[in-house]
Amino acid sequence: MSAVRVAPPSASADRWSPATLMPPWWRLYPSRILTFWLVELRKIRHDRTELYTRAVQPVLWLLIFGETFSRIRAIPTPPGISYLAYLSPGIMAQSALFIAIFFGIQIIWERDSGILTKLMATPTPRLALISGKAFAAGVRSVSQVVVILVLSAILQIHFDWNPLHLLGVAAAVVLGAAFFSCLSMTIAGIVLHRERLMGVGQAITMPLFFASNALYPVKVMPGWLQGLSAANPMSYEVDALRGMLLGTPSALLLDFGVLAIAVVAGVAAAAALLPRLAR
């Protein structure tokens, strides 16, 4: 067997003393997020089937639900904006939500298969690990932005194609996906089993979607539902998307503020429950 040196003499090993390797926290967090980001991109590149299958649902929503409800004209939209145009930012947020909710299942799978144990034994603080996973969900959901933008162009929906606004759209979707993946990972830390998480996930996905402004304006909802919608980060995400894509009046600063705070809270909650998954 060839004698490959696995560890060179101490002279070069000195450069790897933990004290010099460990970056300060303000470099550690971006570095870990970037790492998980790159890994997620690799996974997407190796297996694109999910990209394609995930594209089916938003297409169906826009083509079937959207086209039909456009004809019925049951839902009031801001002047000059078709229902299809009004709906597409909502579907964008919804399909990102569906991807993100899957991440709790992924972390349970990684726990069962031993991947999580090993990740947690690396010099990666829990908060950094969860942040990395959350933004990996963001990367995956950006693909949905692309799908819906392309489809909207085909359907001749009049979006604001300002590149700066499109960047903002991507940012809002990434933040939304990061929050919902944290929500899912938090529930994973509570229920600990895939089957239970699937149940809970399905039970909360629909309310998150319907108790938001994704399909209809908040003002057509009954009062109690309006309250739910105001507490639902999804509504703020959709509001921001509509504002940037359609130019409808929206509170962008509030929207991004709520999303950012939701992400921070979500990361903290999921990270606090992570040790339960490590046991």
Partner 1 sequence: MTAETALPAGAPPDERQLPVACTDLRVSFGTVQAVDGVSFSIAPGEVFGLLGPNGAGKTTTIRVLTTLIRADSGAVSVFGHDTRTAAMLVRHLIGYLPQQLSADFQLTGYENVWLFARLFDLPRGQRDQRVREVLAAMGLDDVRDRLVSTYSGGMVRRLELAQALVNRPALLVLDEPTIGLDPLARGDVWERVRELREETGMTVLLTTHYMEEADTLCERIALMHHGRIRSEGTPAELKARLGPGATLDDVFRHDVGTAIEDEEMTGGGRDVRRTRRTAQRLG
> With binding defined as CB under 8 A, does residue 26 bind partner 1?
no
DSSP alpha helix (H) spans, 18-123 = 18-21, 25-46, 49-60, 67-72, 83-101, 103-112, 115-120
For the bound state, the minimum distance from the C-beta of residue 170 to partner 1, rounded and expressed in Å, comes to 24
Question: What are the two backbone dihedrals, phi and then psi, of residue 17, each rounded to the nearest 5 degrees?
Answer: -65, 140
d(CA 209, CA 57): 14
> With binding defined as CB under 8 A, does residue 22 bind partner 1?
yes
Which of 21, 164, 203, 231 binds partner 1 (CB under 8 A)? It is 21
Which of 59, 75, 81, 119 binds partner 1 (CB under 8 A)? It is 119
- Sign of the Cα torsion 118, 123, 127, 131 reads negative
* Stretch of 122-130, 172-180, 184-192, 216-224 contacting partner 1, by CB under 8 A: 122-130
> With binding defined as CB under 8 A, does residue 24 bind partner 1?
no
> With binding defined as CB under 8 A, does residue 118 bind partner 1?
yes
> With binding defined as CB under 8 A, does residue 278 bind partner 1?
yes
Which of 35, 57, 226, 250 binds partner 1 (CB under 8 A)? It is 35
For the bound state, the minimum distance from the C-beta of residue 118 to partner 1, rounded and expressed in Å, comes to 4
CA distances to 82, 98, 105, 112 from 194, rounded to whole Å, are: 41, 16, 6, 10
Which of 24, 26, 47, 253 binds partner 1 (CB under 8 A)? It is 47
80: left (phi over 0), alpha (psi -120 to 50) or beta: left
> With binding defined as CB under 8 A, does residue 76 bind partner 1?
no
Which of 14, 24, 154, 219 binds partner 1 (CB under 8 A)? It is 14
* Stretch of 32-40, 150-158, 216-224, 256-264 contacting partner 1, by CB under 8 A: 32-40
> With binding defined as CB under 8 A, does residue 48 bind partner 1?
no
**Residues in contact with partner 1, total (CB under 8 A)?**
42
271-276 long-range contacts (CB < 8 A, ≥24 apart) are: 271/126, 271/127, 271/129, 271/130, 272/126, 272/189, 273/185, 273/186, 273/188, 273/189, 273/190, 274/120, 274/126, 274/129, 274/130, 274/189, 275/126, 276/189, 276/190, 276/192
For the bound state, the minimum distance from the C-beta of residue 57 to partner 1, rounded and expressed in Å, comes to 22
Which DSSP state fits 214? S
Residues that bind partner 1 (CB under 8 A): 1, 3-7, 10, 13-19, 21-23, 28, 31-32, 35, 39, 42-43, 46-47, 112-115, 117-125, 275, 278-279
